[in-house]
């Protein structure tokens, strides 16, 4: 059974034509699934009965099942979604006063192996299709009809730029088929240089967020094994190209780990590193995950001092609003707490081979 979600208007028009229907029926189907929230072909009431029945023989809409849901008092709602083959992925609904954002997964699991990340501990199961990424928004929209989802960030499970084709197709579909603004989409990356350079040429106005997390290669390599493949200098050069080509501001994400990378001198070192590159730094206090390294959260005092040091260097700094803390909203945490088998700890050198 194939899924309709994931097909563009053009592709759906071809499907309609293959059933001997006029192409505009494809547009109708697209409207039902991407705008109307139809979860079943039967609900597409303005399609001829015969077409609906024939469509049902080969296609289903393809919404994932909600297998777990955790809501926090601040309105954040984290979902575990079950895909057709049984893989489970996480998506988060994030309501803010001025906008509603969703956090999407781009892979089932992740090969990047970041030492502080819950998802990394299970390794990569597989890439998601464009349809499986778009479907996360559609599924969450059905759960939260009260407000319109305006923003999406690829900050759930997975490294988006290691699933390039599906992630970019999904970004286009979110603007074309779903009707969101491309400017409201953010692709967050660990720093996959070829992916950044390719994305620069896509003519998509998406925001690029770089997970920097360390002010020098030595520390970064300890935290992020992919850093052994691309140095900070190479990644920032690619970011510069992205900015020069798209004129979209960059975001530098900096995860703060107590006693590891939260010293004000490291803030100064980072400020020097980023000199001449526009973009805010977004500080993310570590969302506690049990790790062999025993990483811990920075103190409030250290966060404030780090921020002050960065701002003193002229860098606009924001702090990620801590959302859904009570429900373990860090990447990969829900899947683990839902009692799913977590794969054995990964061998980081092997993970690098996967990425290479
Ligand atoms: N692979 C991409 C996107 C997914 S992770 C990337 O690396 O950017 C989204 C963000 O959450 C990244 O900045 C990641 O480093 C961060 N993150 C992972 N584990 C975290 C944790 N335990 N606490 C806080 N942020 C975390």
Q: How far is CA 231 from CA 197, 220, 281, in A?
A: 15, 9, 19
- Ligand 1 atom closest to Cα of 210? 8
Q: Whose CA is nearest to atom 10 of ligand 1?
A: 155
The answer to whether the CB of 33 falls within 8 A of the CB of 138 is: yes
Helix (H, G, I), strand (E, B) or coil at 46: coil
Is 90 considered catalytic here? Answer: yes
pLDDT at position 353 is 33
Q: Is the minimum distance from the CB of 117 to ligand 1 under 6 angstroms? A: yes
Q: What is the pLDDT of residue 160?
A: 98
Residue 197 near residue 241 (C-beta atoms within 8 A): yes
What pLDDT, on the 0 to 100 scale, is given for residue 249?
Answer: 85
pLDDT of residue 320: 77
268 CB burial (10 A radius; 0-12, 13-18, 19+): middle
pLDDT at 196 over 70: yes
Q: Give the distance (Å) from ligand 1 centre to CA of residue 117.
A: 7
Which pLDDT does position 324 carry in this prediction? 62
Q: Whose CA is nearest to atom 7 of ligand 1?
A: 190
pLDDT-derived band at 167 (thresholds 50, 70, 90) equals: very high
CA dihedral 295, 327, 113, 152 (to 10 degrees): -130
Q: For 112-155, what is each residue's pLDDT tens digit?
A: 999 999 999 999 999 999 999 999 999 999 999 999 999 999 99
Confidence label for 322 from pLDDT (cuts 50, 70 and 90): low
* 129, 6 Cβ separation under 8 angstroms: yes
3-class secondary-structure state, position 345: coil
270-292: average pLDDT: 95
Cα separations (Å) of 146 from 149, 184, 253? 10, 19, 30
Minimum-distance ligand 1 atom for the alpha carbon of 154: 3
pLDDT at residue 244 greater than cutoff 60: yes
Percent of the chain with pLDDT over 70: 90
On the question of pLDDT at 14 being above 80, the answer is yes
**Does residue 348 or residue 126 have the better pLDDT?**
126
Q: Assess contact for 6 and 36: CB atoms under 8 A.
A: no
**Catalytic residue check, 331:** yes
> How many angstroms separate the Cα of 187 from the Cα of each of 51, 182, 196, 197, 199?
38, 11, 10, 13, 10
Residues 96-109 have pLDDT tens digits of 999 999 999 999 99
Evaluate if residue 218 carries a pLDDT over 80. yes
For residue 350, pLDDT over 90 is answered with no
């Amino acid at each position: 059974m194939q899924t309709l979600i994931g097909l563009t208007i053009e592709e759906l028009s071809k499907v309609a034509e293959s059933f001997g229907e006029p192409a505009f029926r494809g547009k109708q189907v697209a409207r039902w699934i991407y705008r109307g929230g139809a979860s079943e072909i039967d609900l597409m009431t303005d399609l001829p009965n015969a077409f609906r029945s024939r469509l049902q023989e080969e296609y289903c809409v393809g919404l994932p099942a909600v297998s777990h849901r955790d809501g926090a008092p601040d309105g954040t709602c984290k979902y575990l979604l079950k895909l057709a083959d049984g893989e489970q992925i996480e998506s988060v609904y994030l309501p803010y006063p001025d906008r509603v954002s969703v956090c999407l997964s781009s892979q089932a699991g992740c090969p990047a192996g970041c030492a502080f990340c819950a998802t990394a501990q299970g390794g990569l199961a597989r890439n998601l299709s464009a349809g499986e990424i778009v479907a996360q928004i559609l599924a969450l929209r059905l759960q939260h009809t009260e407000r319109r989802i305006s923003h999406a960030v690829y900050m759930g499970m997975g490294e988006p730029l290691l699933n390039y084709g599906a992630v970019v197709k999904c970004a286009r579909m979110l603007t074309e088929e779903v009707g969101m603004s491309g400017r409201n989409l953010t692709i967050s990356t660990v720093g996959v240089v070829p992916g950044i350079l390719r994305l620069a040429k896509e003519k998509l106005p998406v925001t690029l967020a770089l997970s920097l997390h360390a002010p020098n290669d030595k520390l970064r390599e300890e935290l992020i094994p992919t850093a052994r493949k691309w140095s900070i200098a190479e990644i920032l050069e690619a970011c510069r190209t992205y900015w020069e080509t798209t004129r979209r501001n960059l975001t530098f994400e900096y995860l703060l780990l107590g006693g590891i990378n939260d010293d004000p001198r490291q803030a100064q070192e980072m400020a020097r590193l980023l000199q001449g590159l526009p973009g805010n730094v977004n500080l993310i206090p570590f969302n506690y995950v049990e790790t062999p390294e025993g990483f811990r959260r920075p103190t409030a005092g250290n966060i404030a001092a780090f921020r002050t040091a960065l701002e003193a260097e002229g860098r606009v700094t924001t702090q990620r609003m801590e959302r859904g803390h009570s429900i373990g909203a860090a990447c990969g945490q829900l899947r683990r707490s839902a009692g799913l088998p977590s794969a054995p700890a990964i061998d980081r050198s092997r993970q690098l081979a996967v990425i290479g």
